[in-house]
């Protein structure tokens, strides 16, 4: 059996192994990484032999660390990376290439519908009714989307919200508030089986799931990097923030919002957000617009989204589709029963 894992920003790790009577009986690690001393590779191989064939990533990493000489240097990979490759070889983890992704272009609708569609589509993947998907949002009105654990009264300036006629909805993932008006952001949701992030910590899974978009940004001339825990930034400042939740049925919901052209004055009147936090969003003055994607690419928002979709299609197996009537009906039902109700929106006062 063979498993491979490409470390985000690092090197490829491959493991060829055999298992006999519930134990790993042979193991060979290879890749384009660097390792000193050379003999440490034999220690890594030996650390895998004898482990149970359902061993967890953290236990694999512990076994490797215990066998390595004290002065060993692993460059471009880690014991955890070897563990993920082992789990893939054993059939517990999957690769991007093991899946065909539904690719859903942006559809303009009530932004609360997009919040609900995250839950609807994730549930379908968990029940085995559909495969993983990447979808882009588009919306027809202003809305603030607050994180699952944020305090409404701490985040929202009620007077400013009413003056600008902007509603608030609480999403099912954590993270910070999203100030959304038509055309001001680029938002996508990625819904995948948990096997794709098998063995990755929450923090590492953020970077792993957004590795594709780093390539998409590079094609647009933006050199981006991941800033732990959940930000994407360039040399000119923050571009995007991500949020994630692992759901029942072995599903991961991961979404990202990139600032395209935000009215910073209005945002500051609606959100209780300090100047210090504004500074990491690409502006030092409330009179300026938060526009990293527009200013750094010089491209229309629709062209950027189209470029993202084509980049994803070029990397992975995809099938473009629209939302089904059943998905939209289920989302509308959730909007009415959950996402429009004050009990949910104000669940953290």
Give the per-residue SS3 of the chain.
CEEEEECCCCCEEEEEEEEECCEEEEEEEEECCEEECCCHHHHHHHHHCCCECCCCHHHHHHHHHHHCCCCCEEECCCHHHHHHHHHHHCCCCCCHHHCEEEEEEEEEECHHHHHHHHHHHHHHHHCCCCCCEEEEEEECCCEEEECCCCCHHHHECHHHHHHHCCEEEECCCCCCCEEECCCCEEEEEEEEEHHHHCCCCHHHHHHHHCHHHHHHHHHCCCCCEEECCCEEEECCEEEEEEEEEEECCCEEEEEEEEECCECHHHHHHHECCCHHHHHCCCCCCCCCCECHHHHHHCCCHHHHHHHHHHHHHHHCEEEECCCCHHHHHHHHHHHHHHHCCHHHHCCCC
Residue 183 confidence class, pLDDT cut points 50, 70, 90:
very high
The structure tokens listed for 267 are 């945002």
The per-residue pLDDT for range 311-322, each reduced to its tens digit, is: 999 999 999 999
- The answer to whether 171 and 143 are in contact (CB under 8 A) is no
What is the per-residue pLDDT for 284? 45
What is the per-residue pLDDT for 286? 44
What is the per-residue pLDDT for 182? 96
Whether the pLDDT of residue 175 is over 50: the answer is: yes
Whether the pLDDT of residue 277 is over 60: the answer is: no
Residue 280 confidence class, pLDDT cut points 50, 70, 90:
low
Residue 348 confidence class, pLDDT cut points 50, 70, 90:
very high
304 preceded by a cis bond (ω within 30 of 0): no
The per-residue pLDDT for range 34-89, each reduced to its tens digit, is: 999 999 999 999 999 999 999 999 999 999 999 999 999 999 999 999 999 999 99
| Most confident region among 91-95, 100-104, 261-265 by mean pLDDT | 100-104
The per-residue pLDDT for range 247-274, each reduced to its tens digit, is: 988 999 999 999 999 999 999 999 987 5
Whether the pLDDT of residue 237 is over 50: the answer is: yes
Of 100, 106, 81, the C-alpha closest to 315 is 100
Q: What is the mean pLDDT of residues 226-255?
A: 93
Whether the pLDDT of residue 176 is over 60: the answer is: yes
What distance in Å separates the CA atoms of residue 240 and residue 188, rounded to the nearest whole number?
Answer: 11
- The answer to whether 306 and 300 are in contact (CB under 8 A) is no
Percentage of residues in the chain having pLDDT higher than 90? 87
Whether the pLDDT of residue 164 is over 80: the answer is: yes
What is the per-residue pLDDT for 229? 87
What is the per-residue pLDDT for 9? 84
The per-residue pLDDT for range 286-309, each reduced to its tens digit, is: 446 789 999 999 999 999 999 999
- The answer to whether 104 and 322 are in contact (CB under 8 A) is yes
- Give the predicted TM-score (pTM) of the model: 0.87
What is the per-residue pLDDT for 103? 98
What is the per-residue pLDDT for 204? 86
What is the per-residue pLDDT for 288? 62
């Amino acid at each position: 059996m063979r498993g491979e894992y490409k470390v985000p920003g690092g090197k490829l790790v491959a493991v060829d192994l055999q298992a006999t009577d519930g134990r790993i009986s042979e193991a060979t690690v290879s890749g384009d990484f660097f390792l000193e001393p050379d003999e440490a590779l034999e220690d890594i191989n030996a650390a895998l032999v004898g482990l149970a064939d359902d061993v967890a990533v953290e236990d694999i990493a512990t076994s490797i660390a215990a066998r390595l000489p004290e002065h060993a240097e692993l460059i471009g990979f880690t014991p955890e990376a070897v563990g993920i490759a082992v789990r893939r070889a054993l059939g517990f983890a999957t690769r991007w290439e093991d899946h065909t992704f539904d690719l859903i272009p942006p559809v303009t609708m009530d932004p609360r519908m997009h919040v609900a569609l995250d839950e609807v589509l994730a549930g379908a993947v968990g029940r085995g009714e559909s495969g993983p998907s990447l979808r882009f949002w588009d919306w027809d009105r202003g809305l603030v989307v607050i994180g699952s654990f944020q305090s409404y009264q701490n985040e929202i300036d009620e007077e400013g919200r009413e003056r600008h006629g902007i509603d608030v909805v609480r999403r099912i993932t954590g993270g910070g508030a999203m100030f959304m008006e038509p055309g001001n952001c680029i938002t996508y949701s990625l819904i995948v089986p948990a096997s794709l992030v098998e063995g990755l910590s929450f923090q590492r899974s953020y970077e792993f799931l957004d590795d594709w978009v780093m390539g998409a940004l590079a094609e647009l001339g933006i050199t981006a990097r991941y800033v732990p825990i959940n930000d994407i930034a360039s040399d000119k400042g923050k571009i995007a923030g991500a949020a994630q939740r692992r759901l029942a049925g072995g599903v991961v919901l991961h979404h990202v919002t990139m600032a395209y052209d935000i009215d910073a004055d209005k945002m500051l009147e609606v959100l209780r957000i300090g100047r210090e936090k504004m500074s990491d969003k690409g502006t030092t003055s409330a009179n300026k617009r938060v526009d990293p994607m527009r200013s750094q690419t010089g491209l229309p928002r629709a062209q950027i989204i189209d470029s993202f979709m084509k980049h994803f299609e070029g990397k992975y197996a995809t099938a473009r589709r629209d939302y089904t009537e059943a998905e939209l009906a289920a989302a509308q039902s959730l909007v009415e029963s959950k996402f429009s109700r004050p009990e949910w929106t104000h669940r953290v006062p």
